[in-house]
Amino acid sequence: MSRKSEDRKVAIFIGLVIVLHLLILISAREARSPALEMGEVVHLREVPEVASRSDLKVIIMGVDGITWDVILPMVDKGELPTIKRLMDEGAYGKLISQAPCLSPAIWTSIATGMKRDKHGIQDFIVKEKGSSKSNLISSNLRKEPALWNIISQWSEKRVGVVNWWATWPAEEVRGFVVSQRFAYRIKETVYPPELGGRLSLLSEETVDGMFHHIAPFQVDPHYRELPRSSSEYVDNYRLYFLKSYFREDANACSIGLSLYEELQPDLFAIYVKGTDIASHYFWKYLTTPSPEENLHLSTREQRRFGSIINSYYRWIDDIIGEFIRLMDDKTVLFVLSDHGFGLDTLDPKAIDLNLLLAKMGLLVHSSEEVDWSRVSPEEEYFFSDHRQIDWANTMVYDSSTPWDYKRRLYINLQGREPQGVVKPADYEKVLEEVTHRLQQLTTDSGKRLFKKVLNRLSEGGEGMDADLMVVFNNQVAVDDSLVMSSQPWACSNFIFSRGMSGEHYAREEGVIIVWGKGILKDYSIKQARIYDIAPTILYLLGLPSGRDMDGGVLTEIMELSLIRQHPVAYVSSYRTSSWTSDRKPVTSGVDEELKKRLKALGYIK
On the question of pLDDT at 380 being above 50, the answer is no
Look up residue 191 and give its amino acid: Y
Average pLDDT, the chain: 83
Is residue 476 within 8 A of residue 346, CB to CB? The reply is no
Rounded mean pLDDT of 463-472?
83
Report the distance separating Cα 174 and Cα 171, nearest Å: 10
| Closest of 267, 251, 247 to residue 199, by C-alpha | 251
- pLDDT tens per residue across span 580-598: 656 787 777 776 777 666 6
Quick one: CA torsion of 332, 333, 338, 343, rounded to 10 degrees?
A: -140
Report the distance separating Cα 425 and Cα 422, nearest Å: 8
Report the distance separating Cα 479 and Cα 140, nearest Å: 46
pTM of structure: 0.76
Alpha helices in 65-203, H assignment, sequence order: 68-76, 81-89, 103-112, 116-119, 147-154
Fold classification of 50-343+503-600 (topology level): Alkaline Phosphatase, subunit A (3.40.720)
The helix (H) or strand (E) run that includes residue 25 is: helix 3-31
DSSP string, 544-583: PEETTSS----GGGB-HHHHHHS--EEES-S--GGGSS--
pLDDT of residue 296: 46
Rounded mean pLDDT of 595-605?
62
Count CA atoms closer than 13 A to 247's CA, side-chain side: 19
User: From start to end of 199-356, where are the E strands?
Assistant: 267-272, 331-336, 342-343, 349-351
Rounded mean pLDDT of 135-139?
80
Q: Phi and psi (nearest 5°) for 346? A: -90, 30
| Closest of 291, 329, 256 to residue 63, by C-alpha | 256
The helix (H) or strand (E) run that includes residue 331 is: strand 331-336
| Closest of 226, 237, 224, 124 to residue 499, by C-alpha | 237
379: left (phi over 0), alpha (psi -120 to 50) or beta: alpha
- pLDDT tens per residue across span 290-320: 444 444 445 777 788 889 999 999 999 999 9
Quick one: CA torsion of 268, 516, 114, 132, rounded to 10 degrees?
A: 50
Q: At what angle do helices 103-112 and 147-154 cross, to 10 degrees?
A: 30
Mention every residue, 6+ apart, whose C-beta is less than 8 A from residue 221.
Answer: none
Radius of gyration of the chain measured on its C-alpha atoms: 27
Higher model confidence: residue 15 or residue 169? 169
pLDDT of residue 598: 67
pLDDT of residue 131: 59
Per-domain boundaries in the chain: 50-343+503-600, 349-497
The helix (H) or strand (E) run that includes residue 511 is: strand 510-516
| Region of poorest pLDDT, from 8-22, 189-203, 383-397, 568-582 | 8-22
pLDDT of residue 102: 82
